[in-house]
A and B are shown apart, each in its own frame.
Chain A
Amino acid sequence: MQLHPCPECRTPVIADTACPTCGATPSPLTSRAKKAVAGALLLATAGCVYGTPDRTPDAGNPDVHEDAGQTDDGGA
């Protein structure tokens, strides 16, 4: 599922729906919104409750660590 940052408040928003935090609607797209949609959110999975945070890019996120830039959902 594709999420995009709301152009108004940055809350992750499901494509073609209104922002659940501020109510901003997805269309008509403003230039800011178009820019936001172009940069879809990656779904992060790093950060276990016990972990020592790994500072390597995208560590712990199998969706991006091995295949940076090649996510199936066309992530940023």
Chain B
Amino acid sequence: MSGRIPAEERATRLRYVVWEITLRCDLSCNHCGSRAGKPRSDELSTAEAIDVVDQLAAMGTHEIVLIGGEAYLREDWTAIVRAIADRGMRSTMVTGGRGMTRDRAQAARDAGMSAMSVSLDGIGPTHDLQRGLEGAFDAATSALENIHAAGLELFGNSQINRLSFPELESIYEHLRAHGATGWQLSITVPMGRAAERPHWLLQPFELLEVFETLAHLARRGAEEGMPIFPGNNVGYFGPYETLLRGRGLRDDRAWGGCIAGKSALGIESDGSIKGCPSLPSDRWVGGNVRESSIRAIWDEAPSLRYVRERELDDLWGYCRSCYYAEVCRGGCTWTSNVTLGKPGNNPYCHHRALDHRRRGLRERLVQREAAPGVPFDHGAFELVEEPWEEPARIAPPKSARLRVLR
């Protein structure tokens, strides 16, 4: 163990980087926040990418997660993986899996990758519908098999929305049957193509049902060796917080606030730097590696420093006067930003839903403005507070009739 690190330094020490190495993608996901498909016109060269790896290593980064688009569609992706591993950092990747052949999985392993996570949002047609491609589920299943066979650590990751929620337990079982040893879950929020499908999104009051299911799966995952990992927009507090945040294995963990720009960093394929890869680019890019060092952007850019320096007065709405305001600081910056237009008031919160329920109330999101149709865009939603009404069980929208590419 190294010597003690001063609390102030620990609070802002870069540990975790999520790097979109290309926006090119072989799927057409109907909830894709970045509207991935074609590569950006000015993506980093191999030399520039290796320089990024060097800079991140010098900053003490623990793990770099490669994403896309689809990361393996970049020709030099294994060279980037090797550079990361050679510098002692953990190299991992999230994939939709359409082209994750046995050879590609083995190439990743040979280059030094530690783990891969396959995105799975349902069984069969439910997954295909969300991923915009008939056969996507079968491809993802093959990817699970190929990654497992190559000897990489294997994880799954899933979106929670009205389509996937009824199948969460089946997804869990499918992942476990194919060798996954962990499962990360995130709530689908209205960014990019998902903003065009508000009928897919959960309503805040439905978190009461969602968290009962998550608690059940967390207990099952702990018993069966496939713990679930709540993403940063799944929370917060309530009676299942320690069960979920502790992966069902320990009961001393709780949400400690957004990590964007505190211990996490997002990089876009053109070298733009954000505190979190999900944050809308127009407001949250703090600089570009072609113009400044990552260290300088990390230290100086106001958008990177935002979460570090956020005050209670930056919170608003329910979150401003919340019991947990001081420790939570409004939950996930991204989720609040893309639903209600600015950070600091997060409607997707279990404690908030429980508190409203106790007072005979519930909150519902109503879309007031459509998304303009560019990467990382979002529409505008209004939060309606209304008397509690016992909801129906969460189910896919009957009106969902979406184009599935062949």
Listed in ascending order, the chain A residues whose CB lies under 8 Å from chain B are: 1, 3, 5-6, 9-12, 14, 17, 20-22, 39-55, 59-63, 65-68, 70, 72, 75-76
Contact = CB atoms under 8 A, between A and B. Distances in A.
A45 B262 contact: yes
Contact of B253 (A21, A44, A55, A70): A44
A14 B323 contact: yes
Nearest to B13: A62
B155 A52 contact: yes
Contacts, number: 169
Contacts of A66: 1-2, 5, 10
Contacts of B262: 45
Contacts of B10: 62-63, 66-67
B356 interface: no
A12 B229 contact: no
Interface in B315-340: 323-324, 326-327, 332, 334
B326 A1 contact: yes
Contacts of A54: 62-63, 90, 92, 115
B272 to A, nearest CB: 16
B63 A41 contact: no
Contact of B327 (A3, A17, A55): A3
A12 B65 contact: no
Contacts of A10: 239-243, 251
B20 to A, nearest CB: 9
Given A12-B254, A42-B254, A47 B237 contact: no
Contact of B16 (A17, A41, A51, A76): A51
B14 to A, nearest CB: 9
Shortest beta-carbon contacts, A-B, top 6: A43-B256, A52-B92, A53-B229, A52-B117, A49-B231, A44-B253
A11 to B, nearest CB: 5
Given A12-B237, A49-B334, A54-B90, A44 B4 contact: no
Contact of B65 (A22, A41, A48): A48
5 contacts: A10-B242, A47-B232, A52-B182, A54-B115, A60-B15
A53 B182 contact: yes
B62 A65 contact: yes
